[in-house]
Amino acid sequence: MPRDEGLALYAAAVEAAGLGLPLLEIGSYCGRSTLLLADAARAAGTVCVTVDHHRGSEEQQPGQEYADPELADPDHPGRMDTLPFLRRTLASAGLEEHVVAVVGASPVAARAFGGNGGGRFGLVFVDGGHTEEHAQADYASWVPSLAPGGLLAIHDVFPDPADGGQAPYRVWTRALASGAFAEVARQRSLRVLRRVALGH
């Protein structure tokens, strides 16, 4: 995530944390964006919940565009494991105690931890799998749990297919078409929307 997008995400997290509710991230990876949400949560006396199976997205697998050999799981050839990197990132920043790391597939975690409604989160940041299936499942699984007035942030929104995959873009259009959200900020491929009505 480039610096300007990170700053926009941080601003959204600081505002959302003012609701006093946990902030949710889908897609921890090695913790770069988690740090931003965690610091905002720390300042507001709440926590960041970050969800990832830590096996990488399709485009991060060995041989794919965003593969990183350093993230290979030493015990399971051909698989990656970003969990140790997330832990190190949070520990180095002194933010471990402000983060609840959930290791598992996003829709499964949502079912287990009470996604699908309830208004538990002040912010939902969607940055997990970028296939249509995963991005839409993340939206359907977690966005019902975004509190009234809370913020929905979506990363990698590219209106022009020449710039990137379309799944996050379609999640963004879905949110706007629902009538439950109004856009409040955009920075490069980051979009921030406020929940202005129930629904999703």
Ligand X SMILES: C[S@@+](CC[C@H](N)C(=O)[O-])C[C@H]1O[C@@H](n2cnc3c(N)ncnc32)[C@H](O)[C@@H]1O
State the residue for tokens 């965003």.
66
Please pick, from the candidates 52, 98, 143, 180, the single residue that binds ligand X as defined by CB under 6 A: 52
Based on the shown chain and the rule CB under 6 A, indicate whether residue 169 belongs to the binding site for ligand X: no
Q: At closest approach, how far in Å is the CB of 33 from ligand X?
A: 3
Which strand (E) or helix (H) includes residue 94?
Answer: none
Contact segment (CB under 6 A) with ligand X among 38-46, 93-101, 125-133, 171-179 equals 125-133
Could you give the string, one character per residue 81-110, with x where binding to ligand X holds by CB under 6 A and - elsewhere?
A: -x----------------------xx----
SS3 state of residue 24: strand
130 is catalytic: yes
Neighbouring C-alpha atoms within 13 Å toward the C-beta of 95: 28
Based on the shown chain and the rule CB under 6 A, indicate whether residue 27 belongs to the binding site for ligand X: yes
* Phi, then psi, of 198 in degrees rounded to 5: -75, 165
Measuring CA to CA, which residue among 56, 73, 71 is closest to residue 130? Answer: 56
For residues 46 and 57, which CB has a smaller minimum distance to ligand X in the complex? 57
What does the alpha-carbon distance between residue 196 and residue 176 come to, in Å, rounded to a whole number? 11
Tokens of 86: 């997330």
Query: What is the total count of residues that contact ligand X (CB under 6 A)?
Result: 19
Query: Residues 53, 98, 130, 134: which is the catalytic one?
Result: 130
For residues 56 and 144, which CB has a smaller minimum distance to ligand X in the complex? 56
User: Do 186 and 174 contact (CB within 8 A), yes or no?
Assistant: no
**Total Cβ atoms within 10 A of residue 43:** 13
Q: At closest approach, how far in Å is the CB of 31 from ligand X?
A: 7
List active site positions: 130
Using CB under 6 A, list all residues that contact ligand X: 1, 27, 29, 32-33, 51-57, 82, 105-106, 127-129, 134
